[in-house]
Chain A
Amino acid sequence: MRGLLRFIIRYHPIILFIILEVVAFIFVAHFNSFHRARILEIKHGIMGNIERKYEKYSSYFNLVKENKTLVEENVKLYNMMPTIYLNPLTTYIPDSLINKQYKFIPARVINNSTNKQYNFITINKGRLDGIEPEMGVICNQGIVGVVKETTDNFASVISVLNREFFPSAKIKRNGYFGPLEWPGKRYDQIILKEIPVQVDVHQGDTIITSGYSSIFPEGIMVGTVKDYDTEEGLYYDIRINLSTDFKKLSNVLVVKNFTRQEKLKLELKTSHD
């Protein structure tokens, strides 16, 4: 063993050199406070970088959970909004039953189409979750459709992109209202009809739901005006860019209207004669 060591030192001075240099650098790092601080600084810099990268990629693994909590949070906030009350209150009263007109139920889209003339959406909430036909469906960007049929666990929704669905909407700036109609061509455009020609309409005007049909609450975003023309001379056909992107719909809210039956009963009575 000693012979081997002597051999190495005699004929391979580079090994002794490396040992001595390592010792010297350990001395440098150990006995000089400036160098120690500098080494720590470099080490922290490198480790910090690695940790930041790791954090960046590992955060993707939590996205599903993160999305779920965000949706729940959104629903909670929607259910606190003053517009859902019959007589909007200026202050929030922590009693969920007082005066309430709308309630929002979160759901996920599990089937969707945009390329037919009569498009339908399927969502993962049904009768057991309190979904009933004729309830409106919205999402964070705007309107989505209205519930048509329900089973115990699923509901089928008539999409706004359906030629038999005419929700009522209005121009936010001046309040003129009319029915929306989908011409069956592009998934990102819809027509607002029956706006008289004397109404001044501008490109970029915001279109919102009117709340008259008691499917959607008032003030849900529909889209912005793209252009308009007058075919018959009396009314505008206003082309609207839909704010909802139907191609990537995933989280939606079903709107329950507590006063719908009451309103319909009243309207039925007056339209009899």
Chain B
Amino acid sequence: MIKNFQRNIFRFLVLIFAQVLIFNNMEISGFINPYVYILFILLLPFETPPAVILIWGFALGFSIDIFTETIGMHTASTVFIAFLRPSILSIFAPREGYEKGTNPRISYYGLTWFIKYSFVLVLAHHIMLFYIEMFSIHDFFSTFLRVILSAIFTITLMTISQYFIFRK
């Protein structure tokens, strides 16, 4: 349990710095931004209580907000997917349920499962974030294009990171 918590803190800090120092500077044609830090929410253990996920989400979003000077925007979207996560997990659960002692990752449940699971949450996060940023229904479709492209980019980076960095 303690070990688990330490690992979470470590991952939390690594993802925040990676997001702030690397991914925030990756702007493809000023249009597509990856937001890989929500991988933290995706990778929390299955048995984490919903309320704890929400608090993690709030802390994570707020930390990112402090660095990007967009107080509240990442917080709102990250809390939103933290709330959605338990329901999404139960929707994509395998027939015999999640095994005890496993984590929601590719190494346990396969690439297809992970992409389905991450696609829903990343899309929800990006929709929330981009539309809060725009704060109007003006340019609805161009914003939606940004959402889709950024989501694809984010998921690609997350999947790659599963094979190389967060292997355990």
Residue numbers of A with Cβ under 8 A of B are: 9-10, 13-14, 16-17, 20-21, 23-32, 34-35, 38
Contact = CB atoms under 8 A, between A and B. Distances in A.
Contacts of B46: none
A22 to B, nearest CB: 9
Interface stretch (B35-43, B64-72, B113-121): B64-72
21 contacts: A13-B51, A13-B54, A13-B83, A14-B83, A16-B54, A17-B83, A20-B57, A20-B75, A21-B76, A21-B80, A23-B75, A24-B61, A27-B75, A28-B71, A28-B73, A29-B72, A30-B72, A32-B70, A34-B135, A35-B135, A38-B135
Closest 8 CB pairs of A and B: A27-B72, A28-B72, A24-B76, A13-B50, A31-B71, A24-B75, A17-B83, A20-B79
Nearest to B79: A20
A16 to B, nearest CB: 5
Given A10-B49, A17-B54, A17-B83, A24 B72 contact: yes
B26 interface: no
B12 interface: no
Contacts of A24: 58, 61, 72-73, 75-76, 79
A225 to B, nearest CB: 59
B29 interface: no
A27 B73 CA distance: 8
Contacts, number: 63
B72 A26 contact: yes
A21 B79 contact: yes
| Chief secondary structure at chain A's binding surface | helix
A17 B70 CA distance: 20
Interface of B: 49-51, 53-55, 57-58, 61, 65, 70-73, 75-76, 79-80, 82-83, 86, 132, 135-136
A248 B61 CA distance: 71
A20 B83 CA distance: 10
Contacts of B73: 24, 28, 32
A25 B72 contact: yes
Contact of A28 (B50, B55, B86, B132): B132
A26 to B, nearest CB: 7
Nearest to A17: B83
B135 A16 contact: no
